[in-house]
Each structure stands twice: as C-alpha cells, then as structure tokens.
C-alpha cells in the first residue's frame, strides 16, 4: 500500500468525523476517528472537546501508543480523548487495521440492547453478517485503560465491527474510508432492524450465502469510496 501523506491522512480523519456527524452519530463532543501514524509513533486522532462537525485537519492530533500527545505543531493545547485505548489497542492487536472509529451510534446502541441478532433484511447488514456482529459485554463503562482496550480488541477479533453494549460501536479497517463507511453502514443496518422489530419482527432476510454474495457486490472498496465521495459532496452542499 502507498504510504499516505500526513496532510491527506489528517484531512481524511477530519472528513470522516464530519461524515459521521451527517449520519447523526455525534454525541455532543464524544466519539472519535483515528488513523495509524505511517511512522509508527501512534495514532492520528480527533481531538477532544469538539463535536464531529467541528473537526478540520488541524484538530486531528498525534497520540502515542501510551496516550501522550506528541509534537503539536498546530493547535497547541489540544487534548486527547480519554478513550484513546480503543484505538491504540485495536491497532496494536491488528497489524492489518490502519483506521478505527468509535461512536455512540444511537440506533446501534438501541438495537444491541435488544439482544437480537442483526438480520440482513437490507443491503447494509451484509457488510457484517454472517456471522452475527461481535459484542463487547465486559463493561458498558468508558474504555479508559490499555487493559480494557485490549479486551475490546479481543472481542472484535478479526472482524470489522463490534457492538459495545450500553455504550456504542467500534469499527475498523485498512483505511479511514473503510472504517468510517463501516460505522455509517452499521448504524443504518441497525436502524432498519429496529424498524423491522417495531413492525412486528422480520419474517425473512438474506440467507448466509446471499448475504456473503451481496457483501462482495454491494461493498467492495471501490463502491465504499463512491459512497464516501458522495457524502463528501453532500457535506459541501450543507456547508459542513
Ligand atoms: Zn465512548
């Protein structure tokens, strides 16, 4: 893979934040997007105290593997999120992961609490199912330590997402586009599933075989990028 330029990486993380805001995944100033530092120093991550829609490249800071904010050339005084171990520990455990998203996605939090398996009743869930979405159940509290971050990474395993019960979601991928689009699609899949439950429960959904075929047809990297580009244009139209 080509080594991403730092400016591009920070711009992508910022754009990812604003795309998540557009999808109503912001929770005031909480939730974050990160990308692995190409030089191995840690992660480039949204700074704390800002909402998703307020983030530009200058609010994306370098956080070391141990949570230290490194070399703030711009925006001195920016602070890191307390839950940085979600990002550092998942990337430590998964060399294939170069981007992580954590949000308090409202439909996903509500759906995960039903205890039901996510059903591929529309396209979106096929990016995750089968098998059913991974669930982190050890705590619904904040992930404030490396030990809890490692436990969360364990729950994610080799998957692209997990529900964090009573808390939110985590998604990951080899790049920012993949990780952010996974968060967008997981939230939409949960919204559709909640509507299905509200309508009396699904009586039909894609078989595993159909779901896996759809995963390849609907969400290969090139199509995820098309959706990302569309969302970027939409942000431009709403002045985001
Ligand atoms: Zn959180």
164: CA distance to ligand 1 center in Å? 9
Which pLDDT does position 209 carry in this prediction? 98
Which pLDDT does position 238 carry in this prediction? 67
147: CA distance to ligand 1 center in Å? 16
5: CA distance to ligand 1 center in Å? 28
Residues with a beta carbon under 5 angstroms from ion ligand 1: 168
Under DSSP, is residue 12 helix (H, G, I), strand (E, B) or coil?
A: helix
170: CA distance to ligand 1 center in Å? 9
Which pLDDT does position 81 carry in this prediction? 98
Which pLDDT does position 74 carry in this prediction? 53
Q: What is the mean pLDDT of each run of 10 residues along the chain (240 residues)?
A: 78 98 98 97 98 96 96 74 98 98 98 98 98 98 98 98 99 98 98 98 97 98 98 82
User: Contact 172/197 with Cβ under 8 angstroms?
Assistant: no
196: CA distance to ligand 1 center in Å? 27
pTM over 0.75: yes
Judging by DSSP bridges, how do beta strands 69-70 and 60-64 pair with one another? antiparallel
207: CA distance to ligand 1 center in Å? 33
H helices present in the chain, as ranges: 6-22, 85-93, 106-114, 146-156, 176-198, 208-218, 221-238
Which pLDDT does position 76 carry in this prediction? 64
168: CA distance to ligand 1 center in Å? 6
Which pLDDT does position 117 carry in this prediction? 98
126: CA distance to ligand 1 center in Å? 25
140: CA distance to ligand 1 center in Å? 9
Distances (CA, A) of 167 to 2, 7, 33: 35, 31, 16
């Amino acid at each position: 893979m080509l080594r991403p330029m730092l400016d591009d990486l920070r711009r992508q993380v910022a754009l990812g934040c604003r795309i998540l805001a557009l999808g109503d995944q912001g929770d005031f100033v909480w939730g974050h997007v990160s990308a692995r530092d190409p030089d191995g120093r840690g992660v480039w991550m949204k700074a704390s105290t800002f909402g998703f829609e307020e983030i530009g490249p200058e609010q994306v800071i370098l956080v070391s593997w141990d949570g230290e904010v490194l070399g703030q050339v711009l925006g001195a005084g920016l602070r890191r999120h307390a839950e940085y171990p979600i990002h550092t520990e998942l990337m430590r455990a998964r060399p294939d992961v170069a981007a992580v998203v954590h949000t308090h996605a409202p439909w996903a939090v509500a759906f995960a609490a039903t205890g039901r398996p996510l059903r591929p009743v529309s396209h979106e869930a096929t990016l995750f199912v089968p098998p059913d979405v991974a669930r982190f159940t050890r705590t619904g509290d904040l992930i404030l330590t490396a030990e809890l971050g490692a436990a969360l990474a364990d729950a994610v395993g080799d998957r692209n997402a997990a529900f964090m019960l009573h808390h939110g979601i985590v998604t990951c991928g080899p790049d920012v586009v993949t990780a952010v689009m996974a968060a967008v699609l997981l939230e939409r899949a949960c919204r559709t599933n909640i509507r299905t439950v509200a309508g009396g429960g699904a009586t039909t959904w894609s078989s595993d075989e159909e779901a896996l075929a759809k995963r390849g047809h609907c969400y290969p990297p090139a199509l995820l990028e098309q959706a990302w580009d569309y969302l970027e244009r939409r942000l431009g139209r709403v002045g985001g």
